[in-house]
């Protein structure tokens, strides 16, 4: 591991449904991707842990 | 959520061993809509042991991996 603690890839994975675009195309109609709720990525456990930690300490409203 | 009440230790689990870097394991929500709510990235040789829970009713695995369930062993590289 060396000094690299983690990378973006450790925090999130590209949505396989929309390939990261956040929207899907069915028969010419584009809709927002329901699988990832239009985020284009899915958080990993580490990503969720970090997000939760930051949120709880910054007191961000969700 | 209490793991001890609804999902005791004997709940079904499965094992995933990555055969390459960047294998992704994506948990899908239980309920009417199946969203992807959780992902994990496994590097070569890494093993994940997971359960189906009240939140996760399906799992999608991408990449070269060996998956062991009580129904047997699946190698994703096999045609
Ligand atoms: Zn998506």
Q: Could you report the per-residue pLDDT of A30-47, keeping only the tens digit for each?
A: 999 999 999 999 999 999
According to DSSP, residue A44 is labeled B
ipTM score of complex: 0.74
Of the candidates A15, A62, A18, the one whose C-alpha atom is nearest the C-alpha of residue A42 is A15
| Strand positions, DSSP E, chain A | 12-14, 23-26, 29-32, 41-43
Question: Which residue of A16, A34, A44 is in closest CB contact with B62?
Answer: A16
Percentage, residues of chain A above pLDDT 70 = 92
Summarised one tens digit per residue, pLDDT across range B9-52 is: 567 899 999 999 999 999 999 988 889 999 999 999 999 999 99
Cβ of residue A20 closer than 8 Å to a chain B Cβ: no
**Maximum separation of any 2 CA atoms in chain B, in Å:** 40
Residues 2-41 of B with CB under 8 A from A: 22, 24, 26, 33-41
Residues of B in contact with A15 (CB under 8 A): 36
């Amino acid at each position: 591991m060396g000094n690299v603690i983690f990378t973006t890839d450790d925090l999130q994975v590209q949505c396989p449904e929309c390939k990261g675009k956040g929207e899907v195309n069915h028969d010419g109609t584009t809709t927002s991707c329901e699988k990832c709720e239009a985020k284009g990525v899915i958080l990993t456990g580490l990503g969720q842990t970090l997000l939760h930690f930051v949120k709880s300490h910054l007191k961000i409203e969700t | 959520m209490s793991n001890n009440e609804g999902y005791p230790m004997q709940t079904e689990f499965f094992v995933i061993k990555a055969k390459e870097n960047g294998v992704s394991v994506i948990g899908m929500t239980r309920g009417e809509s199946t969203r992807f709510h959780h992902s994990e990235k496994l590097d070569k040789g890494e093993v994940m042991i997971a359960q189906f829970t009240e939140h996760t009713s399906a799992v999608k695995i991408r990449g070269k991996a060996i998956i062991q369930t009580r129904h047997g062993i699946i190698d994703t590289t096999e045609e």
